[in-house]
Structure 1
Amino acid sequence: MELDKKMKLGRLTWPIMIEMFLAFAIGTSDTLMVSRISDDAVAVVGFSNQFFNAVIVVFMLVASGAGILIANRLGAGDAYAARKLAIVSVVLTGAIGLVVSLLMVFGAGQIAGWLGMPPDIRPLANDYMSIVGGGMIFTAIGNALSTAVRNTGNTRSPMYIAIMMNVVHIFLNALFIFGLLGFPKWGLFGVALSTLFVRAASVVLLLYVFRSAFGGRIGFREFLRPDWSRSREILRIGWPLSMNGGSWQLSQLAITGLIGVMGAQQLAARTYMNTMESFAFTIGWSFAMAVQILIAYLFGQGKLREAYRSAYRAMGYGMAFVLFNTALMLLFRKQIITFFTADPWIVDMAIVLLWLNLILQPGKMLNMALGQSIVAVGDSRYMMKISIPSQWLVSVGLAYLLGIRLGWGLYGVYAGMILDEYIRGAVLYLRWRHHRKRGLFADHGDLRAGALAPAKGGLQA
Structure 2
Amino acid sequence: MTLQFSPQTRRVFHLSLPIFAELLLQLLVGNMDQFMISHFGSAAVAAIGNGNQVMNVVIIVLTTMSTAATILLTQHIGAGRVGGECSEIVTVAVTVSAVFSFLVGLFLLLEPELVFQLLRTPEDAFDGACLYTRIVGGTVLLQGLYIQLCAVLRSYTLLKEVVVLSVSMNLLNVVGNAILINGFFGFPQMGVAGAAVSTVISKAVGLTLACITLKRKCTVRFSLQYLHPFPAKTFRALLGIALPSGTEALSYNVSQTFILRFINLMGAAVVSAKVYGSMLANVAYVYSIAVGQATQIILGYMIGGRKLDEVSGRVWSTIRIALAASELLTLLILIFCDPIYSIFTDDPVIHALGRQILYVEFGLEIGRSINIVMTRCLTTAGDVWYPVGVGIFSMWIVAVGGSWLLGHALNWGLVGIWIAMACDECLRGALFTIRFRSGKWKETRLVADSTKGT
Pairing 1:214-233 to 2, within 5 Å after superposition: 214-215=218-219, 218=221, 221-222=224-225, 228-229=231-232, 230-233=234-237
Normalising by structure 1, report the TM-score. 0.92
Q: Conserved in 2, the CA contact under 8 Å of 1:91 and 1:223?
A: no
Give the structure 2 partner of residue 34 of structure 1.
Answer: 37
Q: Cα offset for 1:228?
A: 2.8
Say whether 1:24 aligns with 2:27.
yes
Structure 1 gaps of 5+ residues are: none
- Residue range with higher mean Cα deviation, 20-29 or 268-277: 20-29
Give the structure 2 partner of residue 203 of structure 1.
Answer: 207
User: C-alpha offsets along residues 330-385 of structure 1, whole Å, 9 cap, x if unaligned?
Assistant: 11111011111111111111011111112211211011111111111011111111
User: C-alpha offsets along residues 70-101 of structure 1, whole Å, 9 cap, x if unaligned?
Assistant: 11101111112222101111111011101111
Q: 1:297 aligns with which of 287, 301, 310?
A: 301
User: C-alpha offsets along residues 209-245 of structure 1, whole Å, 9 cap, x if unaligned?
Assistant: 22355426x3655577585321111001111000000
Q: 1:55 aligns with which of 47, 55, 58?
A: 58
Query: Does the residue aligned with 2:129 lie in a helix, a strand or coil?
Result: helix
Give the structure 1 partner of residue 124 of structure 2.
Answer: 120
Give the structure 2 partner of residue 326 of structure 1.
Answer: 330
Query: Does the residue aligned with 2:111 lie in a helix, a strand or coil?
Result: helix
Normalising by structure 2, report the TM-score. 0.93
Structure 1 pair 387–219 and aligned structure 2 pair: CA distance change class (3 A): closer
Q: Conserved in 1, the CA contact under 8 Å of 2:402 and 2:417?
A: yes
- Residue range with higher mean Cα deviation, 371-380 or 120-129: 120-129
Q: 2:247 aligns with which of 243, 255, 263?
A: 243
Q: Conserved in 1, the CA contact under 8 Å of 2:91 and 2:224?
A: no
Q: State how far apart, in whole Å, the 2-side matches of 1:211 and 1:227 are.
A: 24
Give the structure 1 partner of residue 282 of structure 2.
Answer: 278
Q: Cα offset for 1:318?
A: 1.4
Structure 1 pair 121–239 and aligned structure 2 pair: CA distance change class (3 A): same
- Residue range with higher mean Cα deviation, 206-215 or 32-41: 206-215
Q: State how far apart, in whole Å, the 2-side matches of 1:325 and 1:99 are.
A: 38
User: C-alpha offsets along residues 186-218 of structure 1, whole Å, 9 cap, x if unaligned?
Assistant: 1111001001111111111111222355426x3
Q: Conserved in 2, the CA contact under 8 Å of 1:82 and 1:214?
A: no
- Residue range with higher mean Cα deviation, 408-417 or 118-127: 118-127
Give the structure 1 partner of residue 4 of structure 2.
Answer: none
Q: Structure 2 counterpart of 1:67, which letter?
A: T
Identity among equivalent pairs (%): 27
Structure 1 pair 347–367 and aligned structure 2 pair: CA distance change class (3 A): same
Q: 2:341 aligns with which of 330, 337, 348?
A: 337
Q: Conserved in 1, the CA contact under 8 Å of 2:381 and 2:442?
A: no
Say whether 1:269 aligns with 2:281.
no
Structure 1 pair 146–7 and aligned structure 2 pair: CA distance change class (3 A): farther
Structure 1 pair 283–89 and aligned structure 2 pair: CA distance change class (3 A): same
Query: Does the residue aligned with 2:136 lie in a helix, a strand or coil?
Result: helix
Q: 1:103 aligns with which of 103, 107, 110?
A: 107
Give the structure 1 partner of residue 316 of structure 2.
Answer: 312
Q: How many residues align?
A: 444
Q: Cα offset for 1:109?
A: 2.0
Q: Which runs of 4+ in 1 moved over 6 A?
A: 4-7
Structure 1 pair 226–100 and aligned structure 2 pair: CA distance change class (3 A): farther
Q: Cα offset for 1:65?
A: 1.3
Give the structure 2 partner of residue 194 of structure 1.
Answer: 198
Query: Does the residue aligned with 1:130 lie in a helix, a strand or coil?
Result: helix
Structure 1 pair 7–203 and aligned structure 2 pair: CA distance change class (3 A): farther
Say whether 1:178 aligns with 2:182.
yes
Structure 1 pair 429–178 and aligned structure 2 pair: CA distance change class (3 A): same
Q: Structure 1 counterpart of 2:123, which letter?
A: P
User: C-alpha offsets along residues 283-337 of structure 1, whole Å, 9 cap, x if unaligned?
Assistant: 1111111111111111001111222221111111111111111111111111011
Q: State how far apart, in whole Å, the 1-side matches of 2:115 and 2:240 are.
A: 30
Give the structure 2 partner of residue 375 of structure 1.
Answer: 379
Q: 2:133 aligns with which of 129, 135, 152?
A: 129
Structure 1 pair 20–287 and aligned structure 2 pair: CA distance change class (3 A): same
CA-atom RMSD in angstroms? 2.0
Structure 1 pair 241–28 and aligned structure 2 pair: CA distance change class (3 A): same
Q: Cα offset for 1:395?
A: 0.5
